[in-house]
Structure 1
Amino acid sequence: MIEATWELIAAIIGIALVFDFTNGFHDSANSISTVVSTKVLSPRNAVVFAAFFNFVAAFGFGVAVANTISTIVELNVVSLAVVPYIVLGALIGAIAWNIITWFFGLPTSSSHALIGGLVGAGISAAGLAAIRWNTVGTVALFMVLSPIIGLICGFLFMAAILWLTRKANKQSAESHFKRLQLCSAAAYSFSHGTNDAQKTIGIILPLLFVVGYAGVGTNPNHLLVPAWVIIASYTTIAFGTLAGGWRIVRTMGYKITKLRPVQGFAAETAGAVTILGASVAGIPVSTTHVICSSIMGVGTTMGTSTVKWGVARSIVIAWVLTIPISAIIGFAAFAVIRVIIGY
């Protein structure tokens, strides 16, 4: 079998950062679709704004999510020599699914694509024992719960705002919420960086552990995160956000429901609260799922007919398919890699 060298590890870390870039590119719509659709910011200013707060999140809520991702593959079970190839197979699965869903304009989860890729590649390498299923189970549970929480929070935030502003002058309130939406968009972009950039950190850590990099420690169940990995991951996701994913912006900002600044503020605030809570708990949730469901929750306060449920149905189908399809791609990718490396 081809041994894991520093050159190989560096190359796979490079691919991990490519995934990080596609994550920012794919999920830029999460941060900017509402401020663009409500015309609070121009598309150009919106991506710069979102990218800045994606990066600032590096100095925020620790690395609990990264630690969760780094333990999905059981490093005590699989041969350490094969771990880089499992990560490579997982990245191929995740990047492939990101590109497919970007092409069709579907706001799916880069996070779940990565987790699916890890599961598929890990099983392909060493069977079911290679995966820490309690961690995957937690992710799967919150795959269902986080959109529901986002939906409920979006509805409740919007309902509360409507009640609090029921006697306010409509034009004056609209002007205030345009300014407030800058705060909510900043909070959402910050939360997006906090949860999503850590997923790339979480797959880089096992790579460094394999080659005995001193900065990550000696316990495979609790890897330490070097500062340079944090900075590299957050910088890359910020550049991905700068690149923008306009196909998905159109879906989220215009096709799910029509948004005004007050509704954009409610959706972003609900999404940020949900994601930051998950980040503190170390749970890798889908920022895409959360903001989509928050927008739907806000939309339902205007009546269920205002939400384009046909578009929402297509999005949900893509959500459901994300983990299994990326797992299949990851499994197949490792099977090909196995032949190449003679494992």
Structure 2
Amino acid sequence: MILILLFLSACFLGYSNGANDNFKGVATLFGSGTTSYKKAISWATATTFLGSVAAIFLANELVKNFSGKGLVPNELITMPIFAISIASGAALTVFIATKIGMPISTTHSLVGGLFGAGVMAVGSQFNFEKLGSTFLMPLIVSPLMAAIASFFAYLIFRFFREKLGITKKTHLHIHEKQTPDIASLNMDHATLKTKTTMEATVNNKVNTYEGEILGLSSQKVLDALHYLSAGIVSFARGLNDTPKIVGLLLIINVIDIKLSMIIVAIIMAAGGLINAKKVGVTMSKKITPMNSGQGFTANLITGLLVTTASVHGLPVSTTHVSVGSIFGIGTVTKKADYKMIGKILLSWLLTLPIAAIISALIFKLLETFS
């Protein structure tokens, strides 16, 4: 029964992770108007799943890290209630954030769960040094690196775009607008005519790029690269996040790690398809407005950083890196919404302690009744 509970907890975590994280890789596709929400989430689902499958072969180090090995005594790792507490605490934290539209880090939630359940179980025997060096440092440094990298990358790309003679062209959304014509009011027959005017809506303007690259339309080349970069980010997220959840299932020896990866990948996909829209809108529309070139730059930086971290076993957060990259673009264009960034940063600060408290309480409850 306890092993079934552990498996269900891991599944809940996978679902919550997909709901909060799946759209982040394609947020710039939707935010820049390159594609619709439906097409963006479909592309995210497919590429995230491929990343999860690739994790079977490339991310074994992350599986070990998130089993708790090195943070707590080995005998605690073999206790199912320890893993259940971590998974449940992290899952509840991420699920609540998803419901209110805040893009938080599943990685951060898992670290909080590890900390809360670990300290509740072993107290001072918990390896605080490894927690700081292996887990917290990459989480703190990665968004700063992403913001700085995307800031300079966009400046470099803009420089070369201008040198190649590729210019930006703004298209406004022009439509008919009907307004009451007061002068036509006929009190005897109680009639009021309307007059039709043309209106250009600035809020729906679209930036495109004019010019050619190697004989091809620069906008078509950029759109293709933007889709590719979004796929890379989603692939990297699947590669980085799936092993963290599977690491909690290591103590169930009857389930093969490869099979666990596939099951978690399917559940993550379901979470993204069903519950991703609120977080998707926050990431796409509320941090900064962007065009396709800016979105491509942010995605490229995010994909490179997350993929590199995954291969080297560093548990960075795709959320932190992605938000950092988008914010870096907003900084260089001077259009970043600092109020929204403040709300996101507050949710990040609260993630770890909330997950730690929930996991600690669940561990104590399970320990009491087991």
* TM tier relative to shorter chain: 0.7 to 0.9
Which range moves more in the overlay, 101-110 or 125-134? 125-134
1:329 counterpart = 2:358: yes
Correspondence for 1:44: 38
Correspondence for 1:314: 343
**Matched AA of 1:76:** N
Q: Secondary structure at the match of 2:102?
A: coil
Within a 5 Å distance, the mapping from 1:171-320 to structure 2 comes to 171-172=209-210, 173-205=218-250, 207-208=251-252, 213=253, 226-303=257-334, 306-320=335-349
1:155 counterpart = 2:184: no
Asked if the contact 1:67/1:282 (under 8 Å) is kept, the reply is no
1:59 counterpart = 2:51: no
Asked if the contact 1:68/1:135 (under 8 Å) is kept, the reply is no
How many residues are paired up? Answer: 317
Correspondence for 2:18: 24
> Whole-Å Cα distance in 2 between the matches of residues 79 and 90 of structure 1?
11
Correspondence for 1:220: none
| Partner residue of 2:123 out of 103, 123, 127 | 127
> Whole-Å Cα distance in 2 between the matches of residues 338 and 200 of structure 1?
22
**Which of these two proteins has the greater Rg computed from alpha carbons?**
2
**Matched AA of 1:110:** T
> Whole-Å Cα distance in 1 between the matches of residues 361 and 4 of structure 2?
23
Tell me: CA distance 1:154–1:126, structure 2 relative to 1, closer, same or farther (3 Å).
same
Tell me: CA distance 1:261–1:22, structure 2 relative to 1, closer, same or farther (3 Å).
same
Q: TM-score, normalised by structure 1?
A: 0.87
Structure 2, gaps ≥5 residues long: 169-208, 211-217
Greater strand share, structure number? 2
**Matched AA of 1:240:** G
Structure 1 residues 56-97: Cα deviation after superposition (integer angstroms, max 9, x where no partner): 1122533221121122543425383xx211111112211221
**Matched AA of 2:342:** R
Deviation at 1:132, TM superposition (A): 6.3
Which range moves more in the overlay, 136-145 or 186-195? 136-145
Deviation at 1:131, TM superposition (A): 4.4
Deviation at 1:252, TM superposition (A): 1.1
> Whole-Å Cα distance in 2 between the matches of residues 101 and 175 of structure 1?
36
**Matched AA of 1:41:** T
> Whole-Å Cα distance in 2 between the matches of residues 120 and 270 of structure 1?
32
Greater helix share, structure number? 1
**Matched AA of 1:198:** P
Structure 1 residues 240-297: Cα deviation after superposition (integer angstroms, max 9, x where no partner): 2222411111111111100111111011110001101110110111110110000011
> Whole-Å Cα distance in 2 between the matches of residues 214 and 109 of structure 1?
30
Correspondence for 1:222: none
Structure 1 residues 303-326: Cα deviation after superposition (integer angstroms, max 9, x where no partner): 3xx111111111111112211221
Structure 1 residues 163-187: Cα deviation after superposition (integer angstroms, max 9, x where no partner): 1101213233444322221111111
Asked if the contact 1:25/1:245 (under 8 Å) is kept, the reply is yes
Structure 1 residues 176-223: Cα deviation after superposition (integer angstroms, max 9, x where no partner): 322221111111110110101111111111x22xxxx388xxxxxxxx
> Whole-Å Cα distance in 2 between the matches of residues 245 and 269 of structure 1?
22
> Whole-Å Cα distance in 2 between the matches of residues 214 and 89 of structure 1?
20
